[in-house]
A and B are shown apart, each in its own frame.
Chain A
């Protein structure tokens, strides 16, 4: 039985085709059937209608850097709760990192993740396999086997690949499978036992610092390796000005390097650590104002390709402790869209480019047939109200975890409907849609 869904009254933004117009969207059998001028299609042509008036209709957001914590750390998050957090944030697909327990360095764990994701039936899940066995950084994992099982990239994220020789061979070997190597760039020896960015703040607070050079030095190394080895390098959670400059230069030289940026790295500086706020502790750490300025510029000029959350749930006990001992990371799936909208407005990034960074570009890097909102494409769609004001309440997150520094902040813009494979998997509670104040600013794409 064909179920159809009509999204009417909305404004479509499709980076792939450049469409930025009011359109009604008809979805059938899990695919985009047609986009038509508003009002053309009779309401009766579909079994279900969604009112998207005042909203943007965009390709479902894609997060290429998420930690779903299952298997092994289900007390922080499960694939089900994580994908629910994703769809609540407008995400229709997430790529999940391998630092689970057991580590995803073999086909069996890859398959297990895919099975759990299918059972949850919410956002699509694309596992990222480990580069090295056990994330130990010593020997290559069975990348081919994992590729057959369905990984879309490899990464030792959580850990840097300290052995330059291994890094070089990983770049070469993955060419066989056209898999990008996603790198967590951190020279551990330079970073030392630092717990926050090294700068004025760390000096005042008496906390050991991680200098920006810990990231920059490793980016430089890997770009040089890339030149020789070929393959595809993707810099995870880039956070430093010099790092962005290195990537910019490498792209100009024609090297196959891409980069991603987290919302917290384009929103907060290391000032957020004031008062020893453990929800401002992550790796790479929040950096200086200069670095924030540079990463925003990097997104604007295309040096940085994608916005990725690095959603890292942790249990309250792991954060409510001395700063030195708190675990690194914050959740991000449910606040990413709002923070990205604010940043885009601040730097003058037009919506077509913003949603490319939040959807299409990640799909291209991961070679996924997603991120496009045009006839015949997969019906992964997010309907966003860009004027809806809401106050972040971490205790109301869909995620199991609450570790966010944005609690209590008033943000603007939110996903109101999320559709995966043509099915409405999430809608914003009616009360939440109405009760928050609406901005009087007209929707102007």
Chain B
């Protein structure tokens, strides 16, 4: 099988087969990072541009290492030092980048939907390195790979995701992927982070110990102080009293539990230091797997077969799909989705 998508915008809607293929491919790239000469010539002469509107060291470095180990040329742009501060719109930035003919663009942006916006307007593959609260697909893939290495399969695995799920793109991508792969999901956090619609995604609880009871995997989310609005919790102290993953909480999980965290850690806030450094933590494996996953994604997207596209053709400018209520708004049926020109 091959990877049929032109871009990697998110994991929502991907099948178990597609995800498994991605994980298998990523897995085979791991050994390159173990060699003495950590390079293969596969993407030689290809240009990868990364555009990070939001600050990040680890994700960008991970992509850079991945690209360079594939022999690609890697250009790194960031929001703060570029034309964005001069007021350039995302659209203009996109067009300018496209005109330089990169072979792939990696985009991290504070607005959900920004990579999709780019993907509809430039020729080359777009890799979403995190858009607003929407998705962070490579993170979820490396999380899944790490889980698979330790647990073998996802079937009936209980995965507890703890923290600010409402604002977390890492959580969303993981929920979409783990669900497709057959895992059972539990969402844990204060009620302010768990709106009622989340019950469609898994069991919901505000009790940490109950949430991690007999869990095979615990995924801790970073408390993103910069991304919240107001009034979600009174103080960090109070938050960690109830939701910090301590040794006591970990004891409630299965004895062979694995603990993940996307980093960077807020030690003592969402995770206790001795847990982060303890025997159940696979945080360092996540980082290693991150490079392999990103190498695999770059390989699969840049080396797309040239035959007819197997995914939906690129939307023409101004075309959108708009589902419309026809007779009664109560019955779920909407008119078959047509492509419509939008002014």
Chain A positions within 8 Å of B, measured between CB atoms, are: 192-193, 198-200, 203-208, 267-269, 271-272, 274-277, 279-280, 289-293, 296, 317, 320-325, 331, 346, 392-395, 397, 401-409
Q: Are A203 and B198 neighbours in the complex by a CB distance under 8 Å?
A: yes
Task: Take A192-B229, A269-B329, A320-B91 as given contacts and tell me if A406 and B112 are in contact as well, using a CB distance cutoff of 8 Å.
Answer: no
Cross-interface CB contact of A293 among B133, B330, B332, cutoff 8 Å = B330
Smallest beta-carbon distance B96→chain A, Å: 15
Q: Are A397 and B113 neighbours in the complex by a CB distance under 8 Å?
A: no
15 A-B contacts, Cβ less than 8 Å apart?
A: A200-B200, A205-B112, A206-B133, A206-B135, A274-B323, A276-B117, A279-B342, A290-B329, A290-B330, A321-B90, A321-B91, A324-B111, A408-B338, A408-B340, A409-B338
Residues from 263 to 290 in B contacting A, C-beta threshold 8 Å: none
Smallest beta-carbon distance B83→chain A, Å: 15
Q: Are B343 and A268 neighbours in the complex by a CB distance under 8 Å?
A: no
Report the separation of the CA atoms of residues A266 and B69 in the bound assembly, to the nearest whole angstrom: 54
Task: Take A274-B323, A292-B329 as given contacts and tell me if A205 and B134 are in contact as well, using a CB distance cutoff of 8 Å.
Answer: yes
Report the separation of the CA atoms of residues A203 and B168 in the bound assembly, to the nearest whole angstrom: 10
The stretch among B32-40, B147-155, B313-321 that forms the contact with chain A is: B313-321
Smallest beta-carbon distance A86→chain B, Å: 17
Residue B12 is within 8 A (CB to CB) of chain A in the complex:
yes
Residues from 318 to 340 in B contacting A, C-beta threshold 8 Å: 318-330, 332, 334, 338-340
| Complex interface: chain B residues within 8 A of A331 (CB) | 343
Cross-interface CB contact of A408 among B110, B198, B325, B339, cutoff 8 Å = B339
Smallest beta-carbon distance B200→chain A, Å: 7
Smallest beta-carbon distance B193→chain A, Å: 12
Number of interface residues of B (CB under 8 A): 46
| Complex interface: chain A residues within 8 A of B327 (CB) | 346
Closest to B332 in A: A289
Report the separation of the CA atoms of residues A433 and B253 in the bound assembly, to the nearest whole angstrom: 71
Report the separation of the CA atoms of residues A314 and B319 in the bound assembly, to the nearest whole angstrom: 18
Residue B172 is within 8 A (CB to CB) of chain A in the complex:
yes
Cross-interface CB contact of B340 among A208, A395, A407, cutoff 8 Å = A407
Smallest beta-carbon distance B320→chain A, Å: 5
Q: Are A404 and B91 neighbours in the complex by a CB distance under 8 Å?
A: no
Q: Are A271 and B323 neighbours in the complex by a CB distance under 8 Å?
A: yes
Going nearest first, the 8 A-B pairs with the smallest beta carbon separation are A402-B343, A394-B343, A408-B340, A206-B134, A276-B113, A322-B111, A206-B133, A292-B329
Q: Are A276 and B116 neighbours in the complex by a CB distance under 8 Å?
A: yes
| Complex interface: chain A residues within 8 A of B109 (CB) | 322
| Complex interface: chain A residues within 8 A of B222 (CB) | none
| Complex interface: chain B residues within 8 A of A204 (CB) | 12, 172
Cross-interface CB contact of B197 among A199, A206, A406, cutoff 8 Å = A199
| Complex interface: chain B residues within 8 A of A322 (CB) | 90, 109, 111, 113-114, 117
Residue B195 is within 8 A (CB to CB) of chain A in the complex:
yes
Residue B89 is within 8 A (CB to CB) of chain A in the complex:
yes
| Complex interface: chain A residues within 8 A of B339 (CB) | 408
Closest to B317 in A: A320
| Complex interface: chain B residues within 8 A of A279 (CB) | 320, 322, 342-343
Report the separation of the CA atoms of residues A390 and B95 in the bound assembly, to the nearest whole angstrom: 34
| Complex interface: chain B residues within 8 A of A296 (CB) | 329
Q: Are B329 and A272 neighbours in the complex by a CB distance under 8 Å?
A: no
Q: Are A280 and B322 neighbours in the complex by a CB distance under 8 Å?
A: yes
Task: Take A267-B325, A292-B329 as given contacts and tell me if A275 and B132 are in contact as well, using a CB distance cutoff of 8 Å.
Answer: no
Smallest beta-carbon distance A202→chain B, Å: 8
| Complex interface: chain A residues within 8 A of B321 (CB) | 274-275
Q: Are A275 and B112 neighbours in the complex by a CB distance under 8 Å?
A: no
Report the separation of the CA atoms of residues A408 and B335 in the bound assembly, to the nearest whole angstrom: 14
Task: Take A274-B321, A276-B116 as given contacts and tell me if A408 and B342 are in contact as well, using a CB distance cutoff of 8 Å.
Answer: yes
Smallest beta-carbon distance A266→chain B, Å: 8
Cβ proximity bits B128-171 to A, threshold 8 Å, 1 near / 0 not: 00011111000000000000000000000000000000100100
Smallest beta-carbon distance B120→chain A, Å: 9
Report the separation of the CA atoms of residues A207 and B200 in the bound assembly, to the nearest whole angstrom: 17
Closest to A211 in B: B195
Cross-interface CB contact of A200 among B90, B110, B116, B197, cutoff 8 Å = B197
Smallest beta-carbon distance B286→chain A, Å: 22
Report the separation of the CA atoms of residues A271 and B329 in the bound assembly, to the nearest whole angstrom: 12
Report the separation of the CA atoms of residues A315 and B229 in the bound assembly, to the nearest whole angstrom: 30
Residue B241 is within 8 A (CB to CB) of chain A in the complex:
no
Cross-interface CB contact of A404 among B116, B133, B338, B343, cutoff 8 Å = B343
| Complex interface: chain B residues within 8 A of A267 (CB) | 324-325
Smallest beta-carbon distance B87→chain A, Å: 12
| Complex interface: chain B residues within 8 A of A291 (CB) | 329
Give the residue among A198, A296, A407 with the most B Cβ atoms within 10 A: A407
Smallest beta-carbon distance B79→chain A, Å: 12
Report the separation of the CA atoms of residues A402 and B338 in the bound assembly, to the nearest whole angstrom: 19
Smallest beta-carbon distance B51→chain A, Å: 13
| Complex interface: chain A residues within 8 A of B133 (CB) | 206-208
Residue B341 is within 8 A (CB to CB) of chain A in the complex:
yes
| Complex interface: chain A residues within 8 A of B320 (CB) | 275, 277, 279, 405, 407
Report the separation of the CA atoms of residues A408 and B131 in the bound assembly, to the nearest whole angstrom: 29
Q: Are A409 and B113 neighbours in the complex by a CB distance under 8 Å?
A: no
Report the separation of the CA atoms of residues A323 and B112 in the bound assembly, to the nearest whole angstrom: 7
| Complex interface: chain A residues within 8 A of B338 (CB) | 408-409
Cβ proximity bits B100-130 to A, threshold 8 Å, 1 near / 0 not: 0000000001111110110000000000000
Q: Are B91 and A206 neighbours in the complex by a CB distance under 8 Å?
A: no
Residues from 170 to 208 in B contacting A, C-beta threshold 8 Å: 172, 195, 197-198, 200
Smallest beta-carbon distance A258→chain B, Å: 23
| Complex interface: chain A residues within 8 A of B116 (CB) | 275-276
Residues from 43 to 61 in B contacting A, C-beta threshold 8 Å: none
Task: Take A274-B321, A405-B320 as given contacts and tell me if A207 and B112 are in contact as well, using a CB distance cutoff of 8 Å.
Answer: yes
16 further interface pairs, Cβ-Cβ under 8 Å (given A277-B320, A325-B111): A200-B197, A203-B195, A205-B112, A208-B229, A268-B322, A275-B320, A275-B321, A276-B112, A279-B320, A279-B322, A279-B342, A291-B329, A324-B112, A394-B343, A404-B342, A404-B343
